[in-house]
Amino acid sequence: MTSADLTAREDLTAALHRERAHHDVCRAALAAMIEGADQQVVVGEDVSASGADAEVLGYGLRSRAKALHELPEGPLFFGRLDFVGQGPGHHIGRLRISTHPAAPPLVVDWRAPVSRAFYQASTRDPQGVAIRRRFGWAPGSRGDSTDLTGMEDEYLTVGEPAASVGLGEPGGPGGPGEVSVAGSPAGSGGSGEVSVAGEPAVPGSGEGYLAAGSVGAARGGAVGGQSAAPGVPPSGAEGSVGGAAGGQVVVAGGLLSRELERPRVGPMRDIAATIQPEQDDLVRAALADSVCVQGAPGTGKTAVGLHRAAYLLYTHPQRIRRGGLLILGPNRTFLSYIAEVLPALGETGVRQSTLRDEIARHPVKGEDPDTTAAVKHDGRMAEVLRRAVYGRVTTGPAQEVAVPDGSYRWRVAGHEVAGIVAGVLAEEPPYEVGRERVRSRIVRRIQERAERRAGALPAAWLRRIERARAVSACVDAVWPKLRPEEVLAELLGDREELARAADGLLDEEEQAALGWSRPPRSPRSARWSAADLVLLDEIGGLLEHPQGYGHVVVDEAQDLSPMECRAIARRVRFGSLTVLGDLAQGTTPWAARSWPVQLAHLGKPDATVVPLTVGFRVPGAVLALADRLLDRLGTDVPRARSLRRDGALRIRRADGAADPVAAVVTAVREALAHEGSVGVVAADAEASHVREALDAAGLTPSPRITVIPATLVKGLEYDHVVAVEPAAIAEAEPRGLNRLYVVLTRAVSRLDVVHARALPW
């Protein structure tokens, strides 16, 4: 080691100790912030001018105190930016930490504008950054919850070396007591080059994706990766993530690799420390912009959507909190999987729901045959329902209104009423608004007549006329009060009514599929199906606009029917949408085949469709298998390039057995030899049989093993997936091959395909 190396080592070691001291200061400041927030709740409610103020202020303060209390224990910063020519750098973490609200922050929130360079700066575009530092943490060995064990600097100024340092502590680089310094000896690449251990450097394009812990540092290049120098295993010093070079995403280093390889036990975690430039662009898109992310499995769509929600809450707190933010997921299993991401980012009050729960006016008690459900979810139903609702309005001649007023009787002729109705109809207001307009215009006519005779009339007179029985009777006759349940029950229970509303829209067969064969005695006793709830919501929306949200994040959006899309569109008329999905993972009978069409149903035809193609979950070998299936799906979607070169795929044939369950038990037993979660995914009809076999073998119940029906696995991930009898999964439903594609792409590290029948690819 040269004396220059020794000096560098000493400098970095001293820097590491300084960072640890800073973390101790931050920890103390956070403890004071939590205590201060608790006190503010007590004080804030007392000092407010009014009860309403106290409530609002109290709510805000309580939410903040709750968010602080619920923060998971962990490192308080994950990065640092030193800007050229500026003083001490900014530490970046999940939450702003300061000794006082007005004091300069000890840690800057990752969503603050200044933090953007942490995700976006590169040697090609340093954005004023001299050094980007990343920190490596391990479970605490000093009685602390976490311990700073390593860090790595990236010099974004050409000519400076990248360096990493770690102390020999658990999880840290280097052996016990050893200090290792990695300069950039592997700086073989010039600008924009990346070298991957064991592989030739990717030439100048700057494009490339690097395997776990095998990155050579690129001096002055697009990437300053973690050195592959001996004594710096990936578990220690954190790696580096290069900015977008030449329009391509370049990912490098230990931090990301370690994050990707981490065993997946428990719920989804945040990715604030490792957001990639193309993901960051989506996270920080303007509030007014609706965006649609088409991403292959494991490209981080869900992660991006959740971080975007957190970003919007931080950047537009008033507007978003006033308008509300809603996260929609496909089912409750998925929601509980993602539930902890936003609280970990300090956001506790976000509504996370399924569309079904969001629109539930009644419990689902009925089930539709497939053909009936398909018609109910079809976009043409919107017009059928509109006709059913507005068909109740009398457009022809109406009865005269005669309102007694003392010895007088004010009259509005039938043809005048008809004219008022026609005028309001032409304005196309929501039905309920229209009804009130008809009433107020009839009253206005009477008022004009009365005032011509008697001059200005008092407000009390006006109120009396408005409430006059004759006026209400007229409004009820020409523009009757409606309840969604009555409208739908009449439509589904009365063939003639249905024929009128569906004329020219639905053919006879479709109408027959819709109609109830045995209508309930009254709307109250109807057994509404899931699709009926969507129709009731549509009718409800025709009557009255529902309360909207400022922003809605919709995950697995490819699976929504046109009518479900409309239910979301109604709730975000004046807000914006983040639409997440993958056309290849569409499994519902009505799943979208084109984003522009789906976006039009969602009411945001101008939303930009952005592809994500870097795969963070599925290993290359597994992706190669899934891609064979993708070829058969006939969906035109960009393919993912896996970041993962590791991972294992095993196809196990249950020789001679009609039932592969014994082979499943073996596969699960072997999977347990590795770390992490095991997901056993079978066709829905097979899942309980598989569960019983694993119970009988004494393998379950186990916190590491989940037996899950194929229809519930969307959006989830397991270290090891055992996919049981692909042919049965593919056969179970019309879009069974798409379902199988979803199943195969749940694996983080290893996939076992167990089969007795021929494989469907």
Ligand X SMILES: Nc1ncnc2c1ncn2[C@@H]1O[C@H](COP(=O)(O)OP(=O)(O)OP(=O)(O)O)[C@@H](O)[C@H]1O
The pair phi, psi for residue 471, each rounded to 5°, is -65, -50
Provide the residue type at 10 as one letter: E
The pair phi, psi for residue 615, each rounded to 5°, is -90, 125
Contact of 167 with 174, CB cutoff 8 Å: yes
Region 301-340 residues binding ligand X, contact defined as CB under 6 A: 301-303
Q: Which is nearer to ligand X, 345 or 446 (CB)?
A: 345
Residue in the shown chain whose Cβ atom is closest to ligand X: 300
Q: Which of these ranges, 72-80, 252-260, 522-530, 619-627, lies near ligand X under the rule CB under 6 A?
A: 252-260
Shortest distance, position 303 Cβ to ligand X, whole Å: 4
C-alpha distances out from residue 743 to 157, 514, 647, 679, 680, Å: 45, 33, 16, 10, 10
* 299 annotated to a ligand binding site: yes
Q: Which is nearer to ligand X, 219 or 301 (CB)?
A: 301
Q: Which is nearer to ligand X, 275 or 721 (CB)?
A: 275
Q: Which of these ranges, 72-80, 216-224, 268-276, 523-531, lies near ligand X under the rule CB under 6 A?
A: 268-276
Shortest distance, position 31 Cβ to ligand X, whole Å: 29
* Torsion of Cα atoms, 234 then 240 then 242 then 248, to 10°: 30
Q: Which is nearer to ligand X, 303 or 565 (CB)?
A: 303
Alpha helices in 48-87 (DSSP H): 51-70
Shortest distance, position 293 Cβ to ligand X, whole Å: 8
User: Is there binding between residue 745 and ligand X (CB under 6 A)?
Assistant: yes
Q: Give exposure, 385-419, as e/b (b: 16+ Cβ within 10 Å).
A: bebbbbebbeeeebbebebeeeeeebebebebbbe
Shortest distance, position 212 Cβ to ligand X, whole Å: 12
Shortest distance, position 616 Cβ to ligand X, whole Å: 3
Region 677-716 residues binding ligand X, contact defined as CB under 6 A: 715
Query: Whose CA is closest to 591, among 637, 556, 567?
Result: 556
As given in the structure block, the two tokens for residue 701 are 């119940």
Shortest distance, position 689 Cβ to ligand X, whole Å: 26
* 66 annotated to a ligand binding site: no
Cα-atom radius of gyration of the chain, to the nearest Å? 31
Q: Which is nearer to ligand X, 214 or 558 (CB)?
A: 558
User: What is the spatial order of strands in the sheet that 90-93 belongs to?
Assistant: 108-109, 90-93, 79-83, 129-139, 146-155, 163-167, 179-182
Q: Which of these ranges, 254-262, 350-358, 386-394, 731-739, lies near ligand X under the rule CB under 6 A?
A: 254-262
Write out the DSSP string of 667-695: HHHHHTTSSS-EEEEE-GGGHHHHHHHHH
Q: Which is nearer to ligand X, 450 or 708 (CB)?
A: 708
Q: Which is nearer to ligand X, 337 or 410 (CB)?
A: 337
User: Is there binding between residue 660 and ligand X (CB under 6 A)?
Assistant: no
Region 377-416 residues binding ligand X, contact defined as CB under 6 A: none
As given in the structure block, the two tokens for residue 192 are 């924009």
Shortest distance, position 748 Cβ to ligand X, whole Å: 7
Q: Which is nearer to ligand X, 716 or 730 (CB)?
A: 716
Q: Which of these ranges, 256-264, 393-401, 423-431, 458-466, lies near ligand X under the rule CB under 6 A?
A: 256-264
Query: Whose CA is closest to 631, among 487, 500, 738?
Result: 738
Query: Whose CA is closest to 255, among 227, 280, 226?
Result: 226
Contact of 305 with 377, CB cutoff 8 Å: no
User: Is there binding between residue 586 and ligand X (CB under 6 A)?
Assistant: no
Shortest distance, position 317 Cβ to ligand X, whole Å: 25
Contact of 717 with 711, CB cutoff 8 Å: no
Tell me how far apart the alpha carbons of residues 587 and 558 are, in angstroms, rounded to a whole number: 8
Contact of 541 with 431, CB cutoff 8 Å: no
Shortest distance, position 583 Cβ to ligand X, whole Å: 11
Q: Which is nearer to ligand X, 717 or 733 (CB)?
A: 717
Q: Which of 148, 256, 344, 743 forms a contact with ligand X (CB under 6 A)?
A: 256
Shortest distance, position 276 Cβ to ligand X, whole Å: 5
Q: Pattern 713-732, binding to ligand X, x per CB under 6 A?
A: --x-x---------------
Q: Which is nearer to ligand X, 30 or 327 (CB)?
A: 327
Q: Which is nearer to ligand X, 129 or 260 (CB)?
A: 260
Q: Which is nearer to ligand X, 192 or 300 (CB)?
A: 300
Counts for the chain of helices (H) and strands (E), in that order: 27, 27
Q: Which is nearer to ligand X, 310 or 756 (CB)?
A: 310
* 391 annotated to a ligand binding site: no
Shortest distance, position 428 Cβ to ligand X, whole Å: 39
* 454 annotated to a ligand binding site: no
In this structure, the strands spanning 351-354 and 401-405 are: unpaired
Tell me how far apart the alpha carbons of residues 534 and 129 are, in angstroms, rounded to a whole number: 51
| HSE-CB for 540 with a 13 A CA cutoff | 17
Region 75-134 residues binding ligand X, contact defined as CB under 6 A: none
Query: Whose CA is closest to 485, among 437, 435, 438, 520?
Result: 520
Tell me how far apart the alpha carbons of residues 711 and 558 are, in angstroms, rounded to a whole number: 15
Region 421-460 residues binding ligand X, contact defined as CB under 6 A: none
Query: Whose CA is closest to 352, among 366, 370, 333, 375?
Result: 333
Number of residues in contact with ligand X under rule CB under 6 A: 23
* 703 annotated to a ligand binding site: no
Q: Pattern 610-649, binding to ligand X, x per CB under 6 A?
A: ------xx--------------------------------
Return the ∠ at Cα 572 (arms to 566 and 573), rounded to 5°: 85
Q: Which is nearer to ligand X, 327 or 443 (CB)?
A: 327
Q: Name the DSSP class of 405.
A: E
| HSE-CB for 697 with a 13 A CA cutoff | 19
Shortest distance, position 348 Cβ to ligand X, whole Å: 20
CA 464 centroid distance within chain: 52
Alpha helices in 77-155 (DSSP H): 116-120
Shortest distance, position 339 Cβ to ligand X, whole Å: 14
Q: Which of 347, 490, 582, 719 forms a contact with ligand X (CB under 6 A)?
A: 582
* 295 annotated to a ligand binding site: yes
Report the chain's terminal Cα–Cα distance, integer Å: 56
Contact of 683 with 732, CB cutoff 8 Å: yes
Element of type H or E holding 294: strand 291-295
Shortest distance, position 259 Cβ to ligand X, whole Å: 4
Q: Pattern 269-308, binding to ligand X, x per CB under 6 A?
A: --x--xxx--x---------------x-xxxxxxx-----
Question: 646: helix, coil or strand?
Answer: coil
Binding residues for ATP: 295-302
Residues that bind ligand X (CB under 6 A): 256, 259-260, 271, 274-276, 279, 295, 297-303, 582, 585, 616-617, 715, 717, 745
Binding residues: 295-302
